[in-house]
Amino acid sequence: MNAIILAAGEGARMGPFTASEPKVMIPVANRPILEYVVSALVGVNLRDITMVVGYRRERIMNHFADGKAFGAHIKYVTQAKQLGTAHALLAARGSSPEEVLVLPGDNIIDAGLLSDFLGRHEGTSVLLTESDEPERYGVAEVRGPNLVRLVEKPKQRISNLVSTGILAFPPSVFEEAAALGETGSHDLTDVLHELVQRGAVKAVLSGGTWIDAAYPWDLLKANAAALAGLHEVKAGTIEKGVTIRGKVGIGEGTVLRSGTYIQGPCIIGEGCDIGPSAVLLPATSLGKDVRVGAFTVIENSLVMDSAVLGHHSLLQSSVVGEGVRGAGNLTAAAGRASVEMEGEWHTVANLGGMIGEDAELGAGAVLEPGTLLESRVRVAAGARVRGRVPAGGMVM
């Protein structure tokens, strides 16, 4: 069996965080989402992997190269236009004479999820999981062990079974996808429905991790879940007077300055400079070369590489992009927020700020709950910001 990972999409609902990176490369607990998929495959000994890439593909190819560093053999095929999942699969036509396992590259999964599926699949099969919010996903109706249909974001309750998008197909799937493509349909769900019409598509319910992150605030939940499985590593320099509780990962070359208090699970990348007297609270990830100033408190947040958060800042349930610079006294406290994304309004119970890459925030800036700054936004010292600021915008 060969694995085909669909990783060509942009992920527009991620807002500023896919400005220079495809969604699959967004770091969660300091690893790109796609890396979780690759590890899960290697974990069940499926090492021959074809990645369908497109948007910002060089970012993916630079990271994974031939896959050797991850214990896999990775080939790449390019999908020039992102028309749909079946169309993406067709890009990998000819890559496998055997059965194929098709996986979306933008969900966090573990090997357990796949081993359950591989032990139980038969012919065309779809991997299902249960969800408390099925209305967000493709919901499955099953009869006995078979799939009857998938309904995308149903208005009426069908079941709590949702498709993970992970599918097993016989090699003939490429012909099916091609034939359907002729009729103008490019979605794998349509291929599944076609196969349901003609015979059985097996439904497999699996345990194991499956975390879908569609919107930036979903990254926080994903981050917290991924940190739960954190391995403790303590490299770097830990000065006297630093308190560390719970599971904490600390990268090479990082300095934790005196008086700093860390309550795990937290992960801190390489080359960071934290404190003195900084406070990191549970479910916080800091990328590489992040600087956190004195008396700054960060809780349940995801901070990407090279960000700087000056002294006396408060950051709760926030996502901070690469290279963001906060001068000091920045406040992004969490609260109930309404956020507009792709023309839809979402209410999020507990959200701070979402700050796109290379933003510059002057001293004393305040971001109200749910504020979204796109890339390269500049906020003047002492400014109060709410809502959404477009890329390159300036707030006085």
Partner 1 sequence: MCGIVGYVGQREALPLLLDSLKRLEYRGYDSAGVAVLENGGVVIQKNKGFIADLEGILRASPAVTGLAHTRWATHGKPSRENAHPFLDCSGKLALAHNGIIENYQELRERLKAEGHTFTSETDTESMVHLLEKHYQGDLRDAMRHALKEVHGTYAFVAVHKDEPHVVVAARNESPLVVGLGTDENFIASDVPALLKHTQRVLYLMDGEVVHLTPERVDVEDAEGHVVTREPQRITWNVEDAEKGGFDHFMLKEIYEAADAIHDTLLGRDIAQELNGLLRPVRAVKLVAMGTSYHAALVGKYLLENVARIPATAELASEYRYSTHPGDKPLVVLISQSGETADTLGAAREARRRGCPSVAISNVLGSSITREVDATLYTRAGIEIGVAATKTFIAQVTLLTLLAIHLGRESGALSPEAAHRLKEGLRSVPRAVTAVLNDAEAIREVAERYAQAHSMFVIGRGVNYPVAMEGALKVKEISYIHAEAYAAGELKHGPLALLTAETPVVAVAVKDATYEKTLSNIGEAAARGSPILAIGTVGDTELEKRVDDVIRVPATDPMLYPFPVSVALQLFAYHLARTRGCAIDKPRNLAKSVTVE
Using CB under 8 A, list all residues that contact partner 1.
112, 115-116, 119-120, 128-130, 132, 140-146, 148, 159-161, 196-200, 203-208
Nearer to partner 1, 210 or 215 (CB): 210
Which is nearer to partner 1, 128 or 304 (by Cβ)? 128
- Residue 85 DSSP SS3: helix
Kindly tell me which of 112 and 253 has the beta carbon lying closer to partner 1: 112
State the nearest-atom distance from the C-beta of 124 to partner 1, in Å. Answer: 11
Q: Is 141 exposed, middle or buried (0-12, 13-18, 19+ CB in 10 A)?
A: middle
Q: Can you tell me the distance from the alpha carbon of 10 to that of 61, in angstroms, rounded to the nearest whole number?
A: 15
Contact indicator for 49, 35 with CB cutoff of 8 Å: no
38 Cβ neighbours under 8 A, 6+ residues apart: 5, 49, 64, 67, 70, 72, 74
∠ CA(324), CA(325), CA(329), 5° rounding? 125
CB of 301 within 8 A of CB of 316? Answer: yes
How far CA 270 is from CA of 4, 25, 118, 382, in Å, comes to 32, 18, 36, 31
193 labelled catalytic: no
> Which one, 159 or 263, has the nearer CB to partner 1?
159
CA 357 to chain centre: 16
| Distance from C-alpha of 380 to C-alpha of 320, rounded to nearest angstrom | 18
Indicate the SS3 state at residue 17.
Answer: helix
Least distance CB 163 / partner 1 (angstroms): 13
Residue carrying structure tokens 């707030």: 395
Phi, psi of 34 (to 5 degrees): -60, -30
Q: How far is the CB of 131 from partner 1 (least distance, A)?
A: 9
CA distances to 34, 159, 162 from 137, rounded to whole Å, are 20, 11, 6
User: Which of 205, 383 has the CB closer to partner 1?
Assistant: 205
CB of 18 or CB of 129, closer to partner 1: 129
> Catalytic pick from 193, 311, 312, 346?
311
In whole angstroms, the minimum distance from the beta carbon of 130 to partner 1 comes to: 6
| CA 156 – CA 231 distance, rounded (Å) | 42
Between residues 206 and 375, which has the closer beta carbon with respect to partner 1? Answer: 206
Minimal distance in Å, beta carbon 143 to partner 1?
Answer: 7
CB of 313 to partner 1, least distance (A): 29
How many angstroms separate the CA atoms of 83 and 181, rounded? Answer: 10
Q: How many other CB atoms sit within 10 Å of the CB of residue 381? A: 13
Minimum CB–partner distance for residue 196 and partner 1 (Å) = 7
Give catalytic residues, as residue numbers: 311
